[in-house]
């Protein structure tokens, strides 16, 4: 029977295992999936119980279909232990930056998976466009123009700056595209530009591969600190919703919330690919993919 255990379960003990990708930067070929970073490699054999009088757990589950499912949970105290610093006043900008990176990556991967985006559309210029505001305006005009031809278009767009300083855009889109239409609309706006549409390289789920590509470009944008350029880290279609539902934590599961939530992933998808729990055992994230 042990050889039939879901991925992520120790075949010897039956315990749920944490991933071993501590501190690894997400990129093409990375061993960990998009989501919170792994902080340690250990077993979920330490039970954590937080008094319900001090607060309560909030947990959610998102089922993207095709065996892709994720859960997240956190203990929310009744009283906040500290007051957040004002914007720009934090003593640890690097920590805040990493949190922002994780939030942006999380939003991107949720939208890509929820809307089945599986192709990468790249928009480039022939000239050396180093003005980010112009690049942003061009993208906005391009999207507005496409909406007249493709009213159901959904996308997630991330900017990239090349070594020479020139900007171009990477967009996650769904399915095969009318290359002629896309090139016509882009060139009508920017002149001698070009477009390219392709599936992510490699085997495996194309949506997950696309998330890794976009996350790589997103990380480069954070290094450039686009806020100084008055720009956004990424763009996406308006009105994109995520199929997330709340998960109540029963009283009997409070001593092992991570195990309870991991079981939810297994019930939905038949496997557990990755799980992360913070050092206090009060928050975590798990998914069905590796």
pLDDT at 51: 61
Whether residue 201 is found in the same domain as residue 279 = no
180/27 Cα distance (integer angstroms): 31
pLDDT at 159: 92
Measured CA to CA in angstroms, residue 218 lies from 74, 112, 209 at distances of 26, 14, 14
Flag residues of the chain having pLDDT under 50: 1-9, 11-14, 18-32, 36-43, 45-47, 228-230
The residue written with tokens 């879901």 in the block is 6
- Work out the widest C-alpha separation in the chain, in whole angstroms: 64
- Domains of the chain: total: 2
pLDDT at 83: 54
The model's pTM is 0.78
Whether residue 24 is found in the same domain as residue 59 = yes
Name the residue among 46, 39, 44, 45 with its Cα closest to residue 20: 39
Residues in a beta bridge with 284:
73, 277
Whether residue 168 is found in the same domain as residue 213 = yes
Would you say how long the chain is, in residues?
290
Which residues span the domain enclosing 183?
116-236
Name the residue among 248, 255, 252 with its Cα closest to residue 282: 255
In a domain, 147, yes or no: yes
Domain of 172, CATH number, reads 3.30.70.1290
Residue 57: alpha-carbon gap to chain centroid: 22
pLDDT at 210: 93
Q: How many other CB atoms sit within 10 Å of the CB of residue 241? A: 9
In a domain, 99, yes or no: no
Output the six-digit token pair for 143.
């999207």
Whether residue 143 is found in the same domain as residue 226 = yes
Whether residue 9 is found in the same domain as residue 68 = yes
94/230 Cα distance (integer angstroms): 19
pLDDT at 74: 95
In a domain, 109, yes or no: no
């Amino acid at each position: 029977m042990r050889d039939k255990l879901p991925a992520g379960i120790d075949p010897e003990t039956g315990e749920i295992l944490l991933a071993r990708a501590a501190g690894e930067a997400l990129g093409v070929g990375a061993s960990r999936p998009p989501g919170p970073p792994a902080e340690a490699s250990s077993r979920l054999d330490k039970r954590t119980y937080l008094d319900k009088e001090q607060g309560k757990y909030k947990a959610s589950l998102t089922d993207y279909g095709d065996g892709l499912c994720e859960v997240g949970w956190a203990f929310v105290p009744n009283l906040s232990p500290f007051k957040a610093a004002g914007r720009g006043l934090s003593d640890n900008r690097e920590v805040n930056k990493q949190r922002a990176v994780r939030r942006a990556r999380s939003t991107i991967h949720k939208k890509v998976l929820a809307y089945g985006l599986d192709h990468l559309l790249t928009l480039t210029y022939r000239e050396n466009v180093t003005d980010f505001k112009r690049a942003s305006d061009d993208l906005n005009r391009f999207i507005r123009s496409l909406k007249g031809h493709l009213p159901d278009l959904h996308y997630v767009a991330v900017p990239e700056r090349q070594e020479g300083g020139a900007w171009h855009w990477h967009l996650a889109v769904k399915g095969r595209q009318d290359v002629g239409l896309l090139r016509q609309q882009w060139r009508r706006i920017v002149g001698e530009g070009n477009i390219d549409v392709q599936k992510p390289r490699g085997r495996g789920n194309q949506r997950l591969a696309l998330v890794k590509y976009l996350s790589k470009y997103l990380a480069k944008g954070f290094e450039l600190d686009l806020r100084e350029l008055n720009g956004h880290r990424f763009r996406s279609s308006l009105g994109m919703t995520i199929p997330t539902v709340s998960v109540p934590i029963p009283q009997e599961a409070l001593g092992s919330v991570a195990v309870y939530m991991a079981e939810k992933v297994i019930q939905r998808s038949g496997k557990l690919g990755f799980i992360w729990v913070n050092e206090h055992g009060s928050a975590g994230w798990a998914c069905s993919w590796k």
